[in-house]
Chains A and B, each alone.
Chain A
Amino acid sequence: MKLTFPHMGNTYITAKTLLDDLDVDYIIPPFNNKKALEIGTKYAPELACLPLKINIGNYIQAYEKGADTVLITGGCGPCRFGYYCEMHRAILKDAGYEMDILTLEMPNQGVKELYRRVKKLAGGFNAYKIIKALKNTAQISKSVDELERLTFQVRPREIKKGSTDKIYKIFLNKALKTNGSEALKKLIKATEDELREVEVDRNFKPLKVGIVGEIYTTIDPFSNFNIQSKLGNMGIEVNRRVTISEWVIDHIIKNALHLPRDRSHIEAAKPYLGTMIGGHAQETIGNTILHAKEGYDGIVQVYPLTCMPEIVAESILPTIEKDFDIPILTLIIDEMTGEAGYVTRIEAFVDLLRKRKERTEHGRDWLLSGN
């Protein structure tokens, strides 16, 4: 069995830790690329959401390198992601790629089936080994996200433009070749030190923008045209509350063990969106409000075309925009999105935020030009 798994930003580091520590043989597909998206668009249903298409591309590119089994998490709706595993199975089969799909979820058939799947994955059921691997995975996942968050803070303040991007890119490539949680921890620490040494302008006060929306497109730089780095290089500090570690720890581990979860975004969203409707709609609404309360200058919502929960969120956001007086830009992505138009919109949004800031800071009266 040679495992593979879909890409989603830096999630491969988390997945790799788990598989390394469980001594599973695996292949990481090439980083998300145009070719992968092309392959996915060819085989996937036209109106499926973007992540499904990129996933299919990942699998086929990994298959060509020798992978035969796909590892993915599941769910029970109402967002489409819960049925990804079965769509993947059907699409790969019809396209002529003999691949097995291993879904990590609570199956309809009950605990016994889950046990069978974990056993297949880990090559036995050594509880100590599995728990230890899970613990390491959660730790790595958390520190990778912290590292990414650090780049968000350093990037707008750096004096030599591009230094953060360079360090982070080297880290992503090195992580690909680093095996085992211990070595990865060292690499993360070294990168963190390197980032902290980047020369920054300490007096610079950047504008702050929160990124909200569907989890895949907000986290994965290929699908969102690296929006975090783009904004950062324009001198804007970004933040994104939805992260992989939060998803793994809060959604999967704490939910399974019935531990109390962070509910601040649910509470914040309540007056606008009363119930859980799947996907990350509640997070989008709640985090927008939390960011607004923390004094952020603007919000960017990103989601793939036809994403059901985010359409609901998008319909509600105009009220929040007004209630909290915070500009919100919605960017929708599919395989046809062109980078130039996308960048123009981001730049225009940033210009708007700058002007707004000037106005509030200087308290100047505004005159129409030509008066």
Chain B
Amino acid sequence: MAKKVGIPRGLFYYQYYPLWKTFFEELGAEIVVSDFTNKQILDSGVKSCVDEACLPVKLFYGHVLNLKDKVDYLFIPRFTSISKGEYICPKFGGLPDMIRHSLKELPEIIDTEVNLRKSKKNAFKAAVDVGNYFSSDRHVIKSAYQKALNSYREFRSNVRKGVLPGDILSKRRGVLNKSSDETVNIAIIGHVYNLYDNYMNMDMIYKLRSMGVNITTIEMLDGKVIDEKNQMLPKKMFWNFGRKAVGGAFHIMEREDIDGIIYLMSFGCGVDSFVCDLIERKVRNTKDIPFTVLTIDEHSGEAGMNTRLEAFIDMIRWRNRNEADVPAYG
């Protein structure tokens, strides 16, 4: 019988799932992904995690609890760094330890360290470590890894063409409501696990689309453009997400076809607190483009979210229509 590997539907699932899926399937393992986020998953996560952690981490706990009795292994790699010379949030590096010491009666955790800070070659090393759980043949692992990389590249190229990762992962078609007003182009900046978890952000993407909003995210941008724009910072950002978000935002600011920027952050996110602030300062100081920050946590009310989104989009439409009008006062 094939061994069952559980992949919690949280955090880097939204970035790497196509890679993991092909890799494990090529090695003959069966993949079990936790359910789509729901109230029960959120509640169980919030209950078992320390209060101070951010919402995505709490949700991850919920997804682990959702999976733990269904699988032989839990796949929770220790991500220290996913790009050369950069880090990610420290919580990712300690995640397997946090899970292990907070939740009881878990199946075996595959907690291979992924650390590409020194060299990109460490990615393959990590793949071999993970592969050893299922096969002792290095060639099999290598070929599985190659195929996994290919499906990851395919995923990335689809995203770059303008398909949202969330749509690919949930097999949902991104339909834009064209009936009402003219289309508005909005860029949303935020961690993948905040943007594409529809329960967590209260279906923000779907809501925007139904208002006739076309969405751009930083995952769709070209890596070279991001790196180029990053040169504007006096000191290089050392978080992978931070570099992409700052570079992406600086690029978006200069584009004529984007009508507004939304920054989606989760309460208590250390990286967001700095990145968002830097972007906001830059936008407000240099460019006349609408910018709003939406913060989510486990207490967020849906009505407040709707009001803000509607007001933001209304304001942009109103602005676009009356661009030439000069106010009579003020």
Q: Do A and B come from one complex?
A: yes
State the A residues within 8 Å of B (CB).
Answer: 45-49, 74, 76-80, 82-83, 85-87, 89-90, 94, 103, 107-108, 272-279, 281, 305-309, 311-316, 318-319, 332
- Interface residue ranges of B48-98 to A (CB < 8 Å): 49-50, 52-53, 57, 78, 80, 86-91, 93-95, 97-98
Which residues of chain A are near B277, meaning CB under 8 Å?
45, 48, 87, 90
For this complex, 22 residue pairs linking A to B, each with C-beta atoms less than 8 Å apart, are: A47-B267, A47-B268, A47-B270, A48-B273, A76-B238, A77-B86, A79-B90, A80-B273, A86-B233, A87-B278, A90-B278, A94-B281, A94-B285, A275-B113, A277-B94, A279-B90, A305-B52, A306-B273, A312-B97, A315-B50, A315-B94, A316-B94
Chain B proximity of A323: nearest CB distance (Å) = 10
CA distance A80 to B276 in the complex (A): 13
Which residues of chain B are near A279, meaning CB under 8 Å?
90
- With beta carbons under 8 angstroms apart, the residue of A47, A275, A281, A316 that contacts B78 is A275
Please judge, given known A-B contacts A45-B274, A87-B278, whether A308 and B101 are in contact too, CB under 8 Å.
Answer: no
Most chain B beta carbons < 10 A, residue from A85, A275, A332: A275
Chain B proximity of A86: nearest CB distance (Å) = 5
Which residues of chain B are near A85, meaning CB under 8 Å?
235
Number of residues from B at the complex interface, CB < 8 A: 45
Which residues of chain B are near A87, meaning CB under 8 Å?
274, 277-278
Please judge, given known A-B contacts A281-B90, A305-B52, A308-B270, whether A274 and B235 are in contact too, CB under 8 Å.
Answer: no
Task: Please state if A278 and B97 are interface contacts (CB–CB under 8 Å).
Answer: no
Contacts A48-B277, A277-B80, A318-B101 aside, 19 further interface pairs with beta carbons under 8 A come to A46-B273, A49-B270, A77-B87, A78-B88, A86-B235, A108-B235, A274-B97, A275-B113, A278-B93, A281-B94, A306-B52, A306-B268, A306-B270, A308-B90, A311-B91, A312-B90, A315-B94, A316-B101, A319-B101
Instruction: Please give me the residue from chain A that is nearest to B102 by CB atom.
Output: A315
A-B residue pairs, 9 tightest by C-beta: A312-B94, A78-B87, A77-B238, A47-B273, A277-B93, A45-B277, A315-B98, A319-B101, A308-B270
Chain B proximity of A69: nearest CB distance (Å) = 15
Please judge, given known A-B contacts A108-B236, A314-B52, whether A308 and B97 are in contact too, CB under 8 Å.
Answer: no
- Interface residue ranges of B105-156 to A (CB < 8 Å): 111, 113, 115
CA distance A275 to B57 in the complex (A): 19
